[in-house]
Amino acid sequence: MSEVQGRILIVDDEEEIVEALGRVVHREGLTPLLAKRGREALQMVRASHPDVLLVDVRMPEMGGLELMRKARELDPELPVILITAYAEVHGAVEAIRAGAHDYLAKPFDHREVIRVVLCALKERRLKQESRRLVDDGHNVLSPRETFGPSVAIGRVIS
């Protein structure tokens, strides 16, 4: 089991795929969130704040690229991994240009899925930590503010 924790939203209109990926993610110590439609997935993005979105490119009503765009409106840093049974170079290039973290072809090796999911999760965590450090850096007091307006402190910091 992995030490990494995270919520992985899995979206595919094929129930078997959703359930299989859910089991794979769960075995890795991650929390699977399962959806079969794009609208349902968007509600889950709003309510559950997943760490990674794993979504099929071709689904009825709302495809994976559209779902990715709408989910990114809610969470601009959400890593999205697109999966498809219709793998082609053009589709992969389009997905990456649109901002997908990665693009996987069905049938996929479960180890590869976990590798890509963990990579996306770690990248998200690094971005969050980096943002936190930058935000904390803006709140740092200057030496003058920290130690006060004495002549001795003035000599030390000049």
Query: How far is it, in rounded angstroms, from Cα 135 to Cα 157?
Result: 24
The whole-number pLDDT of residue 131 equals: 83
Mean pLDDT, the chain, integer: 85
Kindly state the average pLDDT of the residues 140-157.
Answer: 67
- DSSP three-state, residue 60: coil
- Beta-carbon contacts of residue 64 (< 8 Å; ≥ 6 apart): 11, 55, 56, 57, 58, 80, 82, 83, 84
User: Whole-prediction pTM value?
Assistant: 0.78
The residue count for the chain: 158
Q: Which amino acid is at 116?
A: V
Q: What is the pLDDT of residue 59?
A: 92
The pLDDT tens digits for 71-118 are: 999 999 999 999 987 766 666 667 777 778 888 888 889 999 999 999
Buried b vs exposed e over 75-99: b needs ≥16 C-beta within 10 Å?
Answer: beebbbbbbbeeeeeebbeebeeee
> What does the pLDDT read at residue 97?
74
Residue 84 DSSP SS3: strand
Q: Give pLDDT tens digits for 120-131.
A: 999 999 888 888
| Confidence check: pLDDT of 4 > 80 | no
DSSP assigned state of 83:
E
Is 144 a residue whose pLDDT tops 70? Answer: no
142 secondary structure, DSSP code? P
